[in-house]
Amino acid sequence: MRVEQLNDEGWAKTYLLTDDNYKDACLIDPVFDYTDKYLDLIEERGLTLKMTIATHTHADHITGCFTLREKTSCEYIMWKSTASLGVSKLVDGNSSINFCGHKITFYHVPGHTEDSMIVHLDKHIFTGDFLFTGEGGVGRDDLPSGRMKDHWDSLSVLSEFSNLVIVNTGHEPPGTEMKSLAWNKENNPILNMETWEQYRDWQIESAKQLGYVSKIKVALPANMFGEIPEVIPWLE
């Protein structure tokens, strides 16, 4: 199984999953702005896009999932409780999807959003905004459907995974190398917190520093209704 991070620019991370013995492709958290780039790459390599997965309903960019489904008829997969329209396959903790002979499973980790999930496949977990690398901590919990206490409680799910899994996150500064869960347990301040109060204070401070989410008023309705708006200010 090959896992490639595709977005060189920007902080939103998209992963391409492929296997040398198959012609199928899977995209995790594709960004609408780059859908043509993804499709060109998939075509260049002679692959077929079988599925796209959104780890949660994004508020900071328009997902590429429903556009890619419209263009290629691939599956569009999200956690079962999502409010987003246009999803073709809803999954839960009992779901198991075969991709190129590998098993993909899903873990509910509400907090950043109610529909946040971890996607697990072989030696990789894809954590979306549930967990970032090292000092990045975790995603903010002050956006729609976010709940700080749920996020804190969801962290216990990490005990289900081997310390050797690579934590592939939803946002990082460009060029960030994805690290193992063991490394993150040492270096991520959130995973070294002892109390909920510490976590709550970190979230409050983090939200203060991050400020307003610039794309939310366009991106969130687009993702929930599964529709590309007529005007996308940042692409004008």
Residue from 98, 100, 124, 105 nearest 178 by CA: 124
The distance of closest approach from Cβ of residue 112 to Fe ion in the complex, given in angstroms and rounded to an integer, is 6
Q: Is 141 an interacting residue with respect to Fe ion (CB under 5 A)?
A: no
Q: Which stretch binds Fe ion (CB under 5 A): 127-135, 145-153, 179-187, 202-210?
A: 127-135
Among 75, 115, 129, 150, binds Fe ion (CB under 5 A): 129
Can you state the angle between helices 35-44 and 65-72, rounded to 10 degrees?
50
Token digits of residue 23: 């012609």
Token digits of residue 113: 């959003």
Site for Fe ion in 2-61 (CB under 5 A): 58
Site for Fe ion in 53-112 (CB under 5 A): 58
The distance of closest approach from Cβ of residue 113 to Fe ion in the complex, given in angstroms and rounded to an integer, is 7
**Considering beta carbons, is residue 25 or 31 the nearer one to Fe ion?**
31
Give the separation between CA 8 and CA 172, rounded to whole angstroms: 11
Q: Three-state DSSP class for 223?
A: helix
**Considering beta carbons, is residue 39 or 65 the nearer one to Fe ion?**
65
Give the separation between CA 5 and CA 8, rounded to whole angstroms: 8
The distance of closest approach from Cβ of residue 198 to Fe ion in the complex, given in angstroms and rounded to an integer, is 22
Total residues found in the chain within this entry? 236
User: Beta partners for 52?
Assistant: 27, 76
**Considering beta carbons, is residue 114 or 129 the nearer one to Fe ion?**
129
The distance of closest approach from Cβ of residue 61 to Fe ion in the complex, given in angstroms and rounded to an integer, is 9
Give the separation between CA 103 and CA 161, rounded to whole angstroms: 14
**Considering beta carbons, is residue 129 or 172 the nearer one to Fe ion?**
129
Residue from 170, 172, 112 nearest 143 by CA: 112
Q: Which stretch binds Fe ion (CB under 5 A): 11-19, 124-132, 205-213, 224-232?
A: 124-132
- How many chain residues touch Fe ion (CB under 5 A)? 2
Which residue's Cβ lies closest to Fe ion? 129
Q: Is 172 an interacting residue with respect to Fe ion (CB under 5 A)?
A: no
Q: What are phi and psi of 225, to 5 degrees?
A: -90, -10
> Under the rule (CB under 5 A), what is the footprint of Fe ion?
58, 129
